[in-house]
């Protein structure tokens, strides 16, 4: 028996095979979870469908997280396809390219609101909707964040502010849903080469610095994140909620 055998999962945020959402989904599938995955836009649909086939996903559903109706629809579709919902993985974020260069304080109002809506509010809306299907038996929700929520990381800019809002949301949602035995956590992953990472200027320098200065003297892998996600989503993490777990080879503990 796997650690999540019989569990029903909804995965948001797969874009390609390097996506942390995909690596987490692979790990959950290897431990017995059934799942539904989502995509946003025709540009990635065929790619996500191919990956979903490898995961033996029960369904592949479109979802624009800026629309509450889409979120409710994909949650309901998951319930129908799987016969319930136990686990949610949220790996969704976006920022305009121009908001990731220069000074943070020069971010425009539209860019700020778009980043916050997609990267932070979407998790709140998803949690509210998913909780409808979890209240009878509890469940576990997970989102992904980054150290730029805690400290200033050059060029991370509005994404750092977005992730800070996301981490605060994790704590508030955990308090809201705890009485229903629903756990809510986040993983703060170290820098790792994903599609979204390409949008951050000087990312390779960030990657090199983290590898050189972390206590473990290495960069993290997708498997590192997936194993931590499995812990938090499975019954092994039954006593953990409202937490932001750093999976960054220890980089966050270092000073100069």
For 27-76, write each residue's pLDDT tens digit.
999 999 999 999 998 889 999 999 999 999 999 999 999 999 999 999 99
Asked if residue 2 lies in contact with residue 32, where contact means CB atoms within 8 angstroms, the answer is: yes
Return d(Cα 89, Cα 159) in angstroms, integer. 19
- The domain segmentation of the chain, as residue ranges, is 8-250
Q: Name the residue among 38, 8, 245 with its Cα closest to residue 138.
A: 8
Q: What do you get for the CA distance between the two ends of the chain, in Å?
A: 45
- pLDDT, tens only, 123-180: 999 999 999 999 878 999 999 999 999 999 999 999 999 999 999 999 999 999 999 9
Return d(Cα 196, Cα 99) in angstroms, integer. 14
- pLDDT, tens only, 194-253: 656 555 666 777 778 888 999 999 999 999 999 999 999 999 999 999 999 999 999 999
- pLDDT, tens only, 88-135: 999 999 999 999 999 999 999 999 999 999 999 999 999 999 999 998
- Mean residue pLDDT across the chain: 94
Our answer to whether residue 146 is catalytic in this structure is yes
Cβ neighbours around 119 below 10 Å, total: 25
Q: Which numeric CATH code is attached to 8-250?
A: 3.40.50.720
Which residue among the candidates 39, 121, 146, 251 is catalytic per the annotation?
A: 146
Which residue among the candidates 104, 156, 172, 251 is catalytic per the annotation?
A: 156
Q: pTM for the complete prediction?
A: 0.94
Q: What is the pLDDT of residue 192?
A: 87
Our answer to whether residue 156 is catalytic in this structure is yes
């Amino acid at each position: 028996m796997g650690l999540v055998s019989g569990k029903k999962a909804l995965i948001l945020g797969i874009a390609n095979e390097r996506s942390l959402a995909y690596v987490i989904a692979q790990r959950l599938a290897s431990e017995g979870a059934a799942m539904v995955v989502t995509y946003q836009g025709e540009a990635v649909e065929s790619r996500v469908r191919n990956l979903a086939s490898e995961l033996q996903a029960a369904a592949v559903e479109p979802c624009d997280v800026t629309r509450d109706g889409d979120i409710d629809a994909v949650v309901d579709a998951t319930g129908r396809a799987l016969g319930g919902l136990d686990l949610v993985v949220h790996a969704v974020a976006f920022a305009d390219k121009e908001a990731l260069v220069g000074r943070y304080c020069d971010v425009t109002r539209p860019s700020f609101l778009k980043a916050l809506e997609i990267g932070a509010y979407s998790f709140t809306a998803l949690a509210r909707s998913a909780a409808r299907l979890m209240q009878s038996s509890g469940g576990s929700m997970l989102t992904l964040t980054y150290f730029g929520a805690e400290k200033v990381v050059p060029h991370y800019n509005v994404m750092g502010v977005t992730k800070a809002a996301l981490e605060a949301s994790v704590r508030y949602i955990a308090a809201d849903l705890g009485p229903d035995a629903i756990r809510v956590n986040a993983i703060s992953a170290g820098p790792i080469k994903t599609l979204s990472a390409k949008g951050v200027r000087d990312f390779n320098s960030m990657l090199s610095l983290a590898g050189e200065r972390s206590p473990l003297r290495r960069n993290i892998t997708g498997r590192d994140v997936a194993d931590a996600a499995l812990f938090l989503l499975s019954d092994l993490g039954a006593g953990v909620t409202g937490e932001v777990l750093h999976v960054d080879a220890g980089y966050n503990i270092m000073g100069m």
